[in-house]
Structure 1
Amino acid sequence: MIFDFSFILVAATLLTGLIWGIDSVAFKPQRVATANAKGVAPENIREPLLVEYARSFFPVILIVLLIRSFLFEPFRIPSDSMMPTLLDGDFIFVNKFSYGLRLPVLNSKIVSIGDPQRGDVIVFRLPRDPATNYIKRLVGLPGDHIVVRGQNLYINGERVPVEFNGEYTGPGHRGETLGTEHLGNVDHNVLYIPSRMDGEGRDYDQVVPAGHYFFMGDNRDNSKDSRFFEVGFVPERNLVGKAVRIWLNWDLPNAPIWERIGAPIR
């Protein structure tokens, strides 16, 4: 069980629904009978304040819970590990039903819909701290042999093609090396920092276990991802959803970057 905002929503839904339900069954009939005995129209008798609030808030909280749990959930990008695809300050929508419907809090799958695809940008719960959400790009599927040698990525013995496009000129990390990586059916931008040629994460060789996935950030030399012990392989049950669109960008002093608002995530 994960104690996060979903837990608060579930608890609030149950509490308001319980208060409203108990009053409707046990106390409202008594108020109506009393009103009839006094010759007062029942609709003129005011509900207790707690019941009034519960009745008003229950449907609102329930709708928010259903949308966040089964349709779309908003997230804020807190770092530059996914540059240039996602920037610190981007607010995104995550599709919660891409890989199946899960119960809130328990996070157990109740309906299977689709499988994660190589190249998807996915929000997942950190295996060693499920209350923490990470967002990275899916690189390795169960059973894949992943090798990283410097700037080169190999999947099952084949080098993933990268076309280098000169220097990055966008927000943050200006002057670093920009590339286009052809990962499965997805072409996406990646960023390399030549000054970190000998940095941690540039020498990796592992096979992805069954039921797990291997993730990397698009900012390859500035991303804490599956190459590192703190993250490691991510079990299927920890997947939250697929990042699909940027709905706001707000990171002072340069906010907002208008052309990012509404942009799809690829």
Structure 2
Amino acid sequence: MNEEVVTEKKTSRWMKELIEWVKTIAFAMILAFLITRVITPAFVVGPSMEPTFHDRDMVIAFRLAYWKDLPKQDDIILFQSSLADDRILIKRVIAREGDELLINGSQLFVNGEEIDESYILEEDFYGNTNITIPDGSVFVMGDNRNRSLDSRNEEIGLIDQEEVIGRVVFRIFPFNQIGTI
């Protein structure tokens, strides 16, 4: 075999190896971008969203869901809380900007219409709220109303659009409940 053919084979192997490394690095960068800018994985902590989600369930939120608009009523969202520990919370949107919200005992009305909430854990929750939701804000509550720190509490209050991280779209743990939300 002549020297020219051997050199060409070595160069060819080296180029193939380099291309594989570039592909792997590019894939890792795209995956990192998706995880940090497009989706957000999060663990549910505590019982506030039972029966929909349980403590230690893992969910995925789509960050770009609200880049043009506020969450819609009934969406489940992740948001940055104003609590001292800056934790991320998961709650259901009950009312959005411009909506008139009335909570009277265990009845909930949005724009004068009683809301059917078949997803809540307990039928009897208590509260008294009468508010028109200001522009750029949403009112959120947990599905386990009597064990939820949510917009009814002044520590949380109304959620500004800037605090919304994304819409919960997928459950990835526990494995027997994997699927879209």
The alignment's TM-score, normalised by the length of structure 1, stands at: 0.54
Q: Which amino acid aligns with 1:67?
A: L
The aligned residue for residue 191 of structure 1 is: 121
- Alpha-carbon distance, 1:209 to partner: 1.1
Structure-2 change in CA distance of 1:214 and 1:225 (3 Å): same
SS in 1 for 2:145: coil
Q: Which amino acid aligns with 1:80?
A: P
CA offset digits 1:184-243 (Å, max 9, x no partner):
xxxxx111175xx6xxx5122222111111001111111110010010001101110010
Q: How many residues align?
A: 161
Q: 1:136 aligns with which of 91, 97, 121?
A: 91
CA offset digits 1:131-171 (Å, max 9, x no partner):
32111001111121111122210112221135xxxxxxxxx
The aligned residue for residue 36 of structure 1 is: none
Q: How does 1:3-42 map to 2 (within 5 A)?
A: none
- Alpha-carbon distance, 1:116 to partner: 1.7
CA offset digits 1:102-157 (Å, max 9, x no partner):
xxxxxxxxxx3x54211100001113558321110011111211111222101122
**Structure 1 segments unaligned to the other structure (5+ residues):** 1-54, 101-111, 163-179, 181-188, 250-255
Work out whether residues 151 and 192 of structure 1, in 8 Å CA contact, stay in contact via their aligned partners in 2: no
User: 1:264 aligned to 2:172?
Assistant: no
- Alpha-carbon distance, 1:63 to partner: 3.3
Alpha-carbon distance between aligned partners in 1 of 2:84 and 2:164, rounded to the nearest angstrom: 13
- Alpha-carbon distance, 1:81 to partner: 0.3
Q: How does 1:221-260 map to 2 (within 5 A)?
A: 221-249=146-174, 258=176, 260=177
The aligned residue for residue 93 of structure 1 is: 60
Higher mean alpha-carbon deviation, 150-159 vs 129-138, is at: 129-138
SS in 2 for 1:143: coil
The aligned residue for residue 72 of structure 1 is: 39
Structure-2 change in CA distance of 1:89 and 1:202 (3 Å): same
Q: Which amino acid aligns with 1:125?
A: Q
**Structure 2 segments unaligned to the other structure (5+ residues):** 1-21
The alignment's TM-score, normalised by the length of structure 2, stands at: 0.78
The aligned residue for residue 132 of structure 2 is: 207
Alpha-carbon distance between aligned partners in 2 of 1:128 and 1:86, rounded to the nearest angstrom: 21
C-alpha RMSD of matched pairs (Å): 2.6
Q: Which amino acid aligns with 1:87?
A: H
Alpha-carbon distance between aligned partners in 1 of 2:170 and 2:64, rounded to the nearest angstrom: 15
CA offset digits 1:71-125 (Å, max 9, x no partner):
222110011101111111111111111112xxxxxxxxxxx3x542111000011
Alpha-carbon distance between aligned partners in 2 of 1:236 and 1:81, rounded to the nearest angstrom: 22
The aligned residue for residue 13 of structure 1 is: none
Higher mean alpha-carbon deviation, 70-79 vs 122-131, is at: 122-131
SS in 2 for 1:241: strand
**Which runs of at least 4 in structure 1 moved beyond 4 Å after TM superposition?**
57-61
